[in-house]
Amino acid sequence: MLGKCMVYVMAGVVRLWLMSTSSADHIARRVELSTPLNSWKRVEEGVFLHSQGIPVYSGGVFHETPLCLFFSGFLIRSWKAYIPVVFVACDLLTAFLLTVAAGVYSRQLLETQKRDVTRYATDSVPLLLTASSLRSAVVAVELAYLFCPYTVASCVATTTTTFANMVLAAALVAMVAGYPVLFGCLVALSTYQSFYPVCLLVPGILHFTQRGFTVAALIKPVIAFAVSLTGLLLVSAEIAGGWEFMEATYGFILAAPDLTPNIGLFWYFFTEMFEHFRLFFLATFQLNAFVYVLPLSVRLRRDPMLLAAALLAFTAVFRSYPALGDVGLYISLLPVWKHLYPFMRQTFIVGCMFVATSVLGPIMYNLWIFNGSANANFYFAVTLAFNTAQIFLVTDLLFAHVKREYHLFHGSKMEVDGTPARLTLQ
pLDDT tens figures, 291-322: 999 999 999 999 999 999 999 999 999 999 99
Q: What mean pLDDT do residues 333-340 have? A: 95
How many of the other CB atoms lie within 10 Å of CB of 235? 15
pLDDT tens figures, 379-426: 999 999 999 999 999 999 999 999 999 999 887 765 444 454 454 544
Burial 282-316 (b: 16+ CB within 10 A, else e): beebbeebbebbeebbeebeebbbbbbbbbbbbbb
Please give the single-letter amino acid code of residue 177.
Answer: A
Q: How far is CA 295 from CA 187, 191, 193, 301, 406, in A?
A: 21, 22, 26, 10, 19
Domain definitions of the chain by residue range: 2-412
Please give the single-letter amino acid code of residue 181.
Answer: V
Q: What mean pLDDT do residues 259-278 have? A: 89
Phi-psi sector, 212: left (phi>0), alpha (psi -120 to 50), beta: left
Q: Distance (Å, rounded) from C-alpha 124 to C-alpha 409? A: 8
Q: Tell me the residue length of the chain.
A: 426
pTM recorded for the entire structure: 0.93
Among residues 203, 223, 219, 176, the alpha carbon closest in space to that of 293 is found at 203
pLDDT category, 86, cuts 50, 70, 90? very high
Tell me whether strands 419-422 and 413-416 are parallel, antiparallel or unpaired.
antiparallel
What is the phi/psi pair of residue 421, to 5°?
-140, 155
Residue 94 · residue 12 · CB < 8 Å: no
How many of the other CB atoms lie within 10 Å of CB of 43? 24
Among residues 379, 387, 413, 381, the alpha carbon closest in space to that of 322 is found at 387
